[in-house]
Structure 1
Amino acid sequence: MKKHWRKIGGLAILLLLLIGFFLPLPFYLETPGTAEALNKFVTVDGKRDQRKGRYMLTTVALQQARPLTYLWSKTQPFTEVISQADLMGDASSRTYDQMQTYYMQSSINDAITVAYRRAGANYQQKYLGIYVMSVLANSKFKSKLAIGDTVTKIDGHTFKSAQQFINYVKRQRVGQKVTVTYMHKKQIRTTTQPLVKLPGTKRPGLGITLVDHSKVQTDIPVKVAVGDIGGPSAGTMFTLEIYDQLTGGKLRRGRKIAGTGTMDTKGNVGAIGGIDKKVVAASHAGATIFFAPDDPVTKADKKADPNYQNNYTVAKAAAKRIHSKIKIVPVKTFSDVVNYLKK
């Protein structure tokens, strides 16, 4: 009998361990990631940046929580628990990953635009069409259009923005058939389906979530290949790497320089998430300078969260907490970045 109970007890312990290690929870753990040298990703005029020192993009690591890792996270500094709903909203994992890929590509395009314009090098923006971010369950195009496809024409008409596309569809009626030309895995396809009523409205639509899809063409060739890194937060550092290569590499002067922040086509640096964890990653990689978005704290921010602190403030506190000598530099624009490095 004792052996029988010992066997049951052993199986129970094994089951608990399996649950503890492998049962997925509806939470994600965000921890310090890595500081990646940008010369691995960027080539300008067919050449990689081989000068002394390095520019680095910084990442956070994201993993789905299990019971044991969830408990472990409560004991670890710079580890944040994020609910799946807060991270992804209503999007599926596939849609979320696709969105992160789009945001990364968009940030690269904006970085190229800002770097080339500031360097006085020729560039042109080419509008490709409407990028499909998701397809609604009631869409008649659901079996045809896929996440990541690019719609290039509606009824033979081309457009220069997503808003033009939306305005054209608005003028049609629910149930009316339209012919969509789209790019799927580098193949041009067409399909004709009826429009549906968009949820919560009386307006007709294809039943897709869409954004503009464009690319930048340059006289001096530039290539940015980032693998499976997603999101828009490396925009500022991509801009710096590309610009410095275009202008002869005079800014870095052998230093290890990291940072984060989105970049729009006007050269403005935008706030991002997880900056404290990115400071930790940069410090561990030996960076001596870290560029942090100095986003303004508005009344609306304080009303929504009385304890809100902007990226620069959080980054400074993180560096102090780990006793790092890394210099946290506040920036609002790409000009701030260049002017600081020129000093």
Structure 2
Amino acid sequence: MNKKIKFKLWHLLAASALLIALFLPLPVYIDAPGAAQDTSSYVKVKGHRDNTPGKFMLVYVKQVKATPVTWVLSFANKYADRVPAQQEVGNYSDKEMQRIQTYYMSSSIAEAKYRSLTMAGADVKRRYIGLYVMSVLKDSNFADKLRVGDVVTRVNGKHYNNSYEYIQAIKQISPDQKVRLTYLRGKKQKNTAGKLIRLPNSSRHGLGITLTDRVKTSSDVPITANMEGIGGPSAGLMLTLQMYTQLSHKDLLRGRQVAGTGTIESDGSVGQIGGIEQKVVSANKAKAEIFFAPNNQKLDKQDNYLVAKKTAAEINSNMKIVPVKNVNQAVSYLQNNK
């Protein structure tokens, strides 16, 4: 083999290796600090413009599929987590995961609308439709019957008003009995039946399905929230604060940069979320002065507030980390603290 051919061969091998290192997808996802976004750019309340100085910010985690290069580089970022694909997305395709995150966000927006309108004293109706099917275990007796996006509306012929009531109803069913489910696929109503299974790593029996609430709200005050590809339920608290500020015309911000995270329930309670460390880093980078973090003392060291406070100290942030159990606590803090 002459030198010219060897030279070309080495160049070809080097180019191939570079392409593999840059673009070969690994079965790993990298979760890293994302960004903090002004919630007013997503929320529109008809007849109620946002003219207050300052801003509310939602924060999100940036999730990317790893390549050899990004996997190595991620070790330089203390707040980047490398998560096996099976753990992060299971057996779902990127398209299915996007749909699941959209369903979570849809539910979060509906609850934020209901809570903010209620707090502002506006007329609002909340209709509980049922439970979105988010995932089905392969061992579930409903694995070949239900799909992601179906909405379960009845269990054994009965409709309930929240997910807790559905869960309690299922707990009362004997494992040797068939469970009848009524569900919506699009606008078409369907029925199916199957027995419960023993849930993984548990002594309990269940459907083997991951579910989240499907809710609709209606009001004379139109509110829209175009999230432009942001999914998941964790923006609920900040969306509620943004909507309420516009509806009430109260200057809660007073020129401040306020970030935070947490799910929102119809009663205003704020729930725990994932990726709290990355979100604190993102908020600090965006120069937030206040960061609201869900607080549940029963979780001990895994409580979002405690982790957020620890992370803020690690990065020498001047942000005030504020624990909240419900949205009223966040409003009260903003009203009573400069």
TM-score range, shorter chain: 0.7 to 0.9
Match of 1:320 in 2: 313
Measured in 1, the distance between the counterparts of 2:155 and 2:271 equals: 34
Residue 184 of structure 2: aligned partner: 182
Task: State the Cα deviation string for residues 6-53 of structure 1 (Å, max 9, x = none).
Answer: 332222212211111111111111111111111111122344423221
CA contact (8 A) 1:39 1:48 kept: no
Task: Measure the CA separation in 2 of the matches of 1:223 and 1:259.
Answer: 20
**Partner of residue 296, structure 2:** 295
Is the Cα contact below 8 Å between 2:42 and 2:225 reproduced in 1?
Answer: yes
**Counterparts of 2:315 and 2:126 in 1: how far apart (Å)?**
43
Report the equivalent of 1:85: 86
Structure 1 letter corresponding to 2:305: Y
Q: What is the distance in 1 between the residues matched to 2:53 and 2:10? A: 60
SS state at 1:28 partner: strand
In structure 2, relative to structure 1, the CA distance for the partners of 1:47 and 1:144 (3 Å cut) is farther
AA at the equivalent of 2:238: M
Instruction: Tell me if the contact between 1:131 and 1:212 (Cα under 8 Å) persists in the aligned partners.
Output: yes
Identify unmatched segments of 5+ residues in structure 2: 200-205
SS at structure 2 position matched to 1:291? strand
Alignment correspondent of 2:125: 124
User: 1:127: Cα distance to partner?
Assistant: 2.5
Unpaired segments of 5 or more residues in structure 1? 302-307
Matched with 2:38 is 37
CA contact (8 A) 1:41 1:226 kept: yes
How far 1:165 moved relative to its partner?
A: 9.1
Q: CA deviation at 1:342?
A: 0.8
Shift of 1:293: 2.0
Sequence identity, in percent?
A: 41
Q: For residue 338 of structure 1, what is the aligned residue in structure 2?
A: 331
| 1:228-247 correspondence runs (5 A) | 228-247=229-248
Matched, 1:159 2:152: no
2:301 is the counterpart of 1:311: no
Q: Provide the secondary structure at the position in 2 that maps to 1:63.
A: strand
CA contact (8 A) 2:134 2:149 kept: yes
Report the Cα distance in structure 2 between the residues aligned to 1:54 and 1:98, rounded to whole angstroms: 29
Describe the SS at the equivalent of 1:335.
Answer: helix
Q: Please, what is the CA RMSD of the aligned residues?
A: 3.5
CA distance in 2, matches of 1:288, 1:145: 45
Q: Which amino acid aligns with 1:326?
A: M
Amino acid of the structure 2 residue aligned with 1:234:
A
Partner of 1:273: 274
The answer (yes or no) to whether the contact 2:197–2:207 under 8 Å persists in 1 is no
Question: Is the Cα contact below 8 Å between 1:28 and 1:81 reproduced in 2?
Answer: yes
TM-score (norm 2): 0.80
Q: Mapping of 1:88-107 within 5 angstroms? A: 88-107=89-108
Q: TM-score, with normalisation over the residues of structure 1?
A: 0.79
For residue 110 of structure 1, report the CA deviation from its aligned partner: 2.2
